[in-house]
Structure 1
Amino acid sequence: MQDHLSQTFAALADPTRRAMLAHLSKGEANVSDLAKPFLKDMSLPAITKHLKVLEKAGLVTKTKEAQWRPCKLNADGLKDVADWMEQYRVFWEESFDRLDAYLKTMTAKKEPKGKKHGRKK
């Protein structure tokens, strides 16, 4: 059994599924609308499989209205990914802050005494 975060990353790993999510980020769409850009390269059953992966990962919600199958982006499904990535964003920001401080000390050591930023005395 796969944990939820792994399942979400597996769903996001495919460019077709990411394109579907991008489409849904603009608003609700039915399966036919989501399928249109891909029908030249893949079958409708293949599109349906992609949607099922997104649904299983909790990224998409599909409902049934008569013959329509409207799909919506489920932003809550991305929360675990955002939370997981946040710890790495903090790490990189702190690393860049340390690098910036180090570079400032190196620049200060190299600057000749009595000279300020290109001005001559």
Structure 2
Amino acid sequence: MSEDSSTDEVLRALAEPRRRGILRLVAQDELSAGEIAAAFDVSRTAISQHVTVLKNAGLLAERRDGTRRLYRARPEGLDGVRAFLDGMWGDALDTARRLVEAERGLSDDEEGRHAV
């Protein structure tokens, strides 16, 4: 899977409010599916489907403990989204810098000489 499609999958997973709620629950504690389901007013089947989407997006890790499955958040699953947002933020700052410099009548060459 490409980096872009992986980031798209994470963003689609995060678009659903219950999935974000599940991630909040398992951000600090490892919980079973039953414990996660108890926090929501929907069926266990619905929670199971949400958990599957989060796992497939790389946002949840699953560990077996006997017959139980325990889930915890995978913060590194957000790395692609972080990189995407950092890139956009960096581009926005660069654009803002160029606009301010243009407003002041400075070119990139002049700005470089002032910075030295």
Q: Could you report, residue by residue, the CA deviation over 1:30-51 in whole angstroms, capped at 9, with x for unpaired residues?
A: 112211121x2x1100100000
Q: Deviations over 1:22-68 (max 9, x none)?
A: 11112211112211121x2x110010000000000010011211132
> What SS is found at the alignment partner of 2:71?
strand
* Alignment: residue pair count: 102
Q: Which residue of structure 2 aligns with residue 34 of structure 1?
A: 36
TM alignment of 1:98-109, pairs within 5 A: none
More strand by share: 2
Q: How far, CA to CA, are the matches of 1:95 and 1:27 in structure 2? A: 41
In 2, the alpha carbon distance for the partners of 1:80 and 1:15 equals 20
In the alignment, residue 55 of structure 1 is paired with which amino acid?
K
Unaligned residue ranges in structure 2 (runs of 5+):
105-116
**What residue ranges of structure 1 are gaps of 5+ in the alignment?**
106-121
Higher helix share: 2
Q: Which residue of 1 aligns with 2:20?
A: 18
1:96 shift after superposition: 5.1
Aligned to 1:47: 47
Provide TM-score, normalisation by structure 2: 0.74
Q: Superposed, which structure 2 residues align to 1:1-121 within 5 Å?
A: 3-38=5-40, 40=41, 42-95=42-95
Secondary structure of 1:27's aligned partner: coil
Q: How far does the alpha carbon of each residue in 1:61-95 deviate from its partner, in whole angstroms, 9 at most, with x for none?
A: 11211132110111121101101110112133345
Aligned to 1:111: none
Find the aligned partners of 1:95 and 1:37 in 2 and give their Cα distance.
44
Indicate the structure (1 or 2) with the bigger Cα radius of gyration: 1
- Identity of matched residues, %: 25
1:94–1:29 distance in 2 versus 1, CA, 3 Å: same
Task: Provide the alpha-carbon RMSD of the alignment.
Answer: 2.3
